[in-house]
Each structure stands twice: as C-alpha cells, then as structure tokens.
Structure 1
C-alpha cells in the first residue's frame, strides 16, 4: 500500500541518543520542487560512538555520510511526489545490547523506516529479534534492518529474517578466502587463534578450525584464546602465550582497539609472526605494527584502496578529499554500496514501506566500474568479490596509497570472484506477502 509520503516519513522528536544530520541539495534539473522542501527519507544508525570502539563507529558514520551526500547532490531519492533528501540520524549504543534496544525504541518512536548497524554481531542478533517482533506488532510502521559489518554466519542462516539484509561477507566467507591463501603457504605449520569472546569471535575460531582441518590437515592449532571484548588494555600476556606456542601464524577476527593493541603487543614482543586478519588494514593496526608487519599482515575485504584501476582510485581519492585528516582514512565500499542499493530499491518500490523495499532488494545488483555484487534472495546475503591483501610500504610494489598516513598500505595477494566467495545457506525464511 502507498500512504502519503509525510505519514511515514515525518521526523518526530529526536531521542536522547540521536544525533541528526540533515543533508540538503538543490533540486535536480527540471524538478519543480526543491529537494529540501520534501520530507527526508530517514536512516537510523545504531552503533558505538563513545567508549572503546568509538573509532569504528565514527568510521562507519563517515562512510554513510559521504554516500548520503552523493545521493543528495544528484537531487535525492525519487518518490512519486518528487525528490526527497536522505537524512542520517546516529544513535550511540556504546556497543551494548540493552543500549541498542533502547536506541531502536527511539528510532521506531520517530517512525524511521531504515535501521543500519554492524559493529557487533551480538547487537545485530538482538536487533533482528526485536525488529521481527516490532514489525509483527506494528505492521503499519515496519522497519528494515541493513547490516554493514555484523558477520556472524547465523544472521543469514538459522537466524535469517525477511527484515534483515547483510552487505558484508559473513565470517565463513571471509575465513574461506583467508584459508585459501594459507592452503598454499608451505611454511605455515603452527597457527594460533585469538578472538573476542562473543558470538562473532567464537564463530571465527570455529570456522578457522573446520576449514584448516579440511584444507590443511597437516597444520597444528597450537593455541586458542577468547578475551573479553573492549576490556583488555594490555595484550602482552597474550603475546607471550603466542610466542611460547611457537606459532608461525595468527588468525584473528579482532577489530577496533582490540586489534591495534594486540598487534602492538606482538610487535613489542619482537615476533615475526604472520597475521591473517579480518580487519588488519585500518583503525591504527598498520601504524602499530610498522616494519614488523611488512609482508606478514594480511587482511580480507570486499575492496581496498590499492585494488587497482582509475575508477577505484578516484573513488578513494574522493573520500580522502572529503575527509583529509589521516585519522579519518578508513573507507568501506560495502557501506557506500548499501546506501546506493537502498536508494535504488526505494525508487523501484516507489515507497519507503519496509516490505516493498525488501522485495525490491531481493536479487538486486550493485555494479560500478570496479565492483559487482548481487543480493541473494534466499538469505539476504550480499554475494561479492573478496580481496586478500598483504601489508607493504607505500610506493613499493604498486602500493600507491597508504593507510591513515602510516606510510604502509596493502597490495592484493589474491582476488576471489563473487562466484568463489558464495557459500551455501541454511536459511529457511518466513516471507512476507
């Protein structure tokens, strides 16, 4: 059904946790109505903007902001009554589940139709459950959950939901790429697993064990740790355990300060261990490692600044022009692709009503000059290429760009076409007519 735009887009009162950022742009050529005069299409971000992982939340906010600015610069979102600007409202959840549910209540009270979140699979799982219940209870104001980073595999397997779409490769997809690289490393013989003690960290370790057993049964797992998330300030005891184990490689899904502090402790311990990481290419990690990381630290992602090609370079340089401070240099293609795919789906559905937009997102394709991805309808998992890249000095081996002004960047070691990253799903989704 199509109600009037203002009925389901009215801004409402901003909750105590909300920081609202409105992006206005002039109307597109030939439009009779200025984009700024129509109600905004609102996106509510729930993530950590304070506390131990504030740098990760702020990085997300920057990526969403530049994507929204691009949409508004071309006029906004086209709906039957004209062009509407996108508006981002950010809700600080301090990386807590209860705070996230409180933020969701503020968001739904304001009738914001789109929720975005990603930094914490524990939070994402709680939001999926709460949104399922909200949408059943209040069908006239349903919301859609777009997930940019929560990679627990259950979110698009046994916990899959019609109201949830994931735009990042999940943990098993990322681990599949990393272990394909490890499989060909004849010098890898002893591996240590370390991660954050919550659903995601446990999934990473479980996945690593299973895939290494299948691909390299000769490799020994010489140690495994799960540590409290965001609570450890000194990782030197963990570094000592890794050193004592004789490990020649470490696999970790750590992110944010838990990653940068871990790699700093490894460096300070004088170890030359290889690192296979999910997020080792940003948020302080390259600078913390310095020369100790050269040729040793690998990261897996859907894209990286040195992926290659003029269009890829231009995409990255536009971000750096918008955010010139080296501390702000952490670019996520998936988050910006997510915004573009959402806008395309809204325009196809001709409404912001959640079920209609969900139908338009199923099977949707995102394609630009250097990336090609498809939203798999059966489980709402984005299928896209993945890169495993290795840390190098800027200016060497084709590394044109460094990370966060550190002097160190990443070079593609292996590229995996989207067909090679797709894994089977066990999702049995309850679909909405």
Structure 2
C-alpha cells in the first residue's frame, strides 16, 4: 500500500509538472500583415525581419513558456481591403495570432474582422497584436477585447512631446505638416490641444494635410513653411512621405527644428544626413542607443542584415506573449488574451504593463535628438555617422492618457 501511495504521488507530481509546462515545445505562429510591396515596402520588410529576428532569439529556452515563435509575412499592400484578404488567408492557414502596424485604417479593419470571426467561430479565436497603428480610437470608442496595442497611441506621444516642447523657449511659431489620414489629422489636432494647455503663447502659423504616399515633390510645402515665418516644424509623417519632405527641406536650405514621430524609420535617417539636418527630434518609446539585451539584439540585427532594428514593439510583443502563455499554461488565444490583461513584464526601459481596461500598453517615452555619433552614443543609424541621442526619458504616467473604452468581454 505504501509503495502504491508513493507511486501515485510521484505520478501526480509528474502530471502537475507536465501540466505546468504543457505548452513547452509548441510552435506559436504569428501572421504578419503589412506592406511588403509598394511605397512603404522598405518599412514593412524591415519590420517583418524585426519580428522574425526577435521570434527566433526568444524561442524555446529563451522564454518562460518554452514555446517556439514563428512569424510569416502576408503582403497587404498598405490597403485595408487587402488586409482583410490577408487575414482570411492567414485564418484559412490556421494562424491564431496576427500582427499589424502600418496604417490605422488597416488596423481598424483587422480588429473589426477578428472580432466578428471570433464571435462566429468559437474554438477558433484569433488574437490581434497591433504594434504600430496609433489611432487613439482603437483603444477608446473602437476598442475590442481581441486587440492589444504595443505602441503608444498618438495622444500618449503628443502628451509627452508637448510636455517637452513647453520647456523649449525658442519654440514660438509652429508649422504642422501631416499625411491626410487619421494619424496625420490626429497629430495636428492633439498637438494644438496639448500645446494650448501648456504653452498658449505658441502660435500655429501654418498647417497642411497632404495625400498619403502620393506627393513626389514637397518643395511647394517647404515654400509655404518658409513664407509662414515658422521657427519649428511638427510632423507625424513616416516612410517616403517623411524622406521626401526632408530632401525638400535640404534642397531649400531650410534648417529649423523639426519634431517628429518617425524620423528613425527606414530611409529617413539617410535623407537627414544627406540634407545636413541638425536639430531633429523624435518622440518614441525607444531609441538607437540602448544597452543590455536590446542593445546586443540591435547590434546583431545590424550585423546580420546591415539594417537598423527600430521597432522595439516586436521585443515587447514577444516577451508579453511568452509571459501570457506561461501564465495561461496554454497557447490557446482565449486563455492567452485573458492572461495578457494587466500583465507586466520587464522591458528595456523598465516595467511595461498591458492596461486591462483598454489593452493599451503603458510604457516610458523618450525624446531623442539627431546628432553625430560619439563615444557615449556610438550607434550609427543607417551607417550615416549620425544617431538619435536620448535627451529625456519620461515615466509611463507622464504619457498615460485616459480611455473611454467600454470593453465587452466574451
């Protein structure tokens, strides 16, 4: 009897240990849905490599769940409709996790489609990781249980940026140039609201919204900026729309401070160096000169691809996924979604937390400035001899903004 009890106890312990690591050895496949062709292909290709690189580095014994991560690219050509086609193809191929970030219109379409799919297909639920689409509505009036945002939204970045700009006395006359879609419109709107609260003496001397990915020559916009007498530019532009704008500024010899969201994105640093730009700032949740694990990862990415690793949301995304899978003891998106709510993990800038009320990641923000590399800040962005130097770090509470999300949980 004693032997039988001991055997039963041992078997129970083995069973419990197996249950605790039931997900170990499984492969978690993530469908990356973003532009891999067209005007923003260079950005999408970089970000797909970033997801794949981090997934490989953080697989198996490198994460607490012991799972393998695999990321496969689907080309949405930057279109919401193509995003839905890609999502359907991914679901048909058995993907239960999707990641997207370039374009809030595409993000909204995917979020809505995922929600409808999940309600109609119990047992085949899909979870959406939004790593860069920053429309505030996605975690406010359009919030959805299956959507988790890894980037800071437009309001969070602007809250941090205006908190920094209010203390810059030489900023007096601002020109706003943005892409004419939700993100660009919101950058303009929230800048005006934020700076009016903090520095009502600052004048908006000009504002333009231009078609996204259609302008080939920004010289007319630069001429308007010159004529306005602006001493500062604020822009949420990204991709070729920022690269070509920087080129036009250089061609016109206009060198005034420019505050941006995405000057570190593929192609723009090279344009900044060619234009001889000097006073360019970025508001973001990371920068080029981190040390520790993320610094080594960036260096290894550069060595392997001769390209820059700048989408740090991929690092946080994989870490959060691994933590949630370990917590849930399952790779089932239903259980992982529940485990993600309120989850805190250690990141390169301290603790980050997935706020359970709206699924918006709470994290530190940085203001960085474009400067020549130095012994202290040696990372050469796009091999230009320049880098983005962190000049201010803000704790998560500084950029945190309230939410109107009234989330319906399954």
TM-score, with length taken from structure 2:
0.90
Instruction: Determine the structure 2 residue equivalent to 1:74.
Output: 61
Distance 1:116 1:45 in 2: 5
Structure 2 unmatched runs, 5+:
1-17, 19-23
The answer (yes or no) to whether the contact 1:122–1:200 under 8 Å persists in 2 is no
Equivalent positions of 1:19-98 (< 5 A) are 40-72=27-59, 74=61, 78=65, 84-98=67-81
Equivalent positions of 1:200-279 (< 5 A) are 200-279=183-262
The answer (yes or no) to whether the contact 1:365–1:374 under 8 Å persists in 2 is yes
Equivalent positions of 1:155-194 (< 5 A) are 155-194=138-177
Note the C-alpha offset of 1:330.
Answer: 3.3
Instruction: Determine the structure 1 residue equivalent to 2:279.
Output: 296
Instruction: Determine the structure 2 residue equivalent to 1:334.
Output: 313
Instruction: Determine the structure 1 residue equivalent to 2:5.
Output: none
Instruction: Determine the structure 2 residue equivalent to 1:344.
Output: 323
Note the C-alpha offset of 1:268.
Answer: 1.0
Instruction: Determine the structure 2 residue equivalent to 1:27.
Output: none
Q: CA 1:250–1:369 in 2, change beyond 3 Å: closer, same or farther?
A: closer
- For residue 159 of structure 1, give the secondary structure of its aligned residue in structure 2: coil
Instruction: Determine the structure 1 residue equivalent to 2:6.
Output: none
Q: CA 1:382–1:84 in 2, change beyond 3 Å: closer, same or farther?
A: closer
Distance 1:125 1:281 in 2: 25
Q: Residue 316 of structure 1: which of 292, 298, 314 is its match?
A: 298
Note the C-alpha offset of 1:131.
Answer: 1.0
Aligned residues: 390
Which has the larger displacement, 351-360 or 92-101? 351-360
The answer (yes or no) to whether the contact 2:281–2:368 under 8 Å persists in 1 is yes
1:419 aligns with 2:406: no
1:142 aligns with 2:120: no
Structure 1 unmatched runs, 5+:
1-30, 32-36
Q: Which 4+ stretches in 1 moved above 4 angstroms?
A: 75-78, 291-295, 309-312
Instruction: Determine the structure 2 residue equivalent to 1:371.
Output: 350
Note the C-alpha offset of 1:228.
Answer: 1.1
Bigger radius of gyration among the two = 2
Deviations 1:250-270 (A, max 9, x none): 111111111111111111111
Instruction: Determine the structure 2 residue equivalent to 1:3.
Output: none
- For residue 68 of structure 1, give the secondary structure of its aligned residue in structure 2: helix
Distance 1:241 1:366 in 2: 46
Note the C-alpha offset of 1:295.
Answer: 4.4
Q: CA 1:38–1:431 in 2, change beyond 3 Å: closer, same or farther?
A: same
The answer (yes or no) to whether the contact 1:71–1:77 under 8 Å persists in 2 is no
- For residue 123 of structure 2, give the secondary structure of its aligned residue in structure 1: helix
Q: CA 1:154–1:138 in 2, change beyond 3 Å: closer, same or farther?
A: same
Instruction: Determine the structure 1 residue equivalent to 2:8.
Output: none
- For residue 140 of structure 1, give the secondary structure of its aligned residue in structure 2: coil
Q: Residue 392 of structure 1: which of 367, 371, 381 is its match?
A: 371
The answer (yes or no) to whether the contact 1:319–1:331 under 8 Å persists in 2 is no
Instruction: Determine the structure 2 residue equivalent to 1:5.
Output: none
Instruction: Determine the structure 1 residue equivalent to 2:12.
Output: none
Distance 1:38 1:174 in 2: 38
The answer (yes or no) to whether the contact 1:76–1:86 under 8 Å persists in 2 is no
The answer (yes or no) to whether the contact 2:250–2:277 under 8 Å persists in 1 is no
